[in-house]
Amino acid sequence: MITVEKSIFINKPVHEVFAFATADGNYQKMQPDVTEVIEHGPRNTVGSSWTEVRKFMGQELRTTSEVTVFEPDKKEVTKVIKGPVFYETTVTYEPSEGGTKYTTKITGEPKGFFKLAEGIVSAQLEKAVIDGNQRLKDLVEKS
């Protein structure tokens, strides 16, 4: 089982951070290893789904995810419903010191090749979460 949880302080109010993070097109700005996002219907509601294409450990991965929890300005939870690695991502937005504590938590159980390389997968995932959180902070604080 892999669990990665990282938080970052963003010097903007929760509603601004949430609005930016959930706006159409901004996911790829926060996750540059994602090369394509294909929406399957309306966004930002429980049951929304999309397929993302990303480069991970030198491989192109196609993963379809679904929103299971969507609480504006508080929390989003998504789970992979189709792909090579099944995991759940929880993002929380908390008011903190005049800004926002933004936390990303990913839990999953790798299988096949990814299970054999679990330590490497975990390290790469941790780096991707840290980098994505920092990109969000930089983008939101500049806006």
3-state secondary structure the chain: CEEEEEEEEECCCHHHHHHHHHCCCHHHHHCCCEEEEEECCCCCCCCCEEEEEEEECCEEEEEEEEEEEEECCCEEEEEEEECCCEEEEEEEEEEECCEEEEEEEEEEECCHHHHHCHHHHHHHHHHHHHHHHHHHHHHHHHC
Task: Please report the pLDDT score of residue 27 as a whole number.
Answer: 87
Q: What's the CATH superfamily of 2-31+72-142?
A: START domain (3.30.530.20)
pLDDT at 115: 66
pLDDT in tens, 52-86: 998 876 778 899 999 999 999 999 999 999 988 88
CB atoms inside a 10 Å sphere around CB 80: 17
pTM for this prediction = 0.89
Amino acid of residue 52: E
Question: What is the dihedral angle through the alpha carbons of 9, 53, 67, 15, rounded to the nearest 10 degrees?
Answer: 30
The domain locations on the chain are 2-31+72-142
Residue 9 pLDDT exceeds 90: yes
Q: What pLDDT score does 72 carry?
A: 97
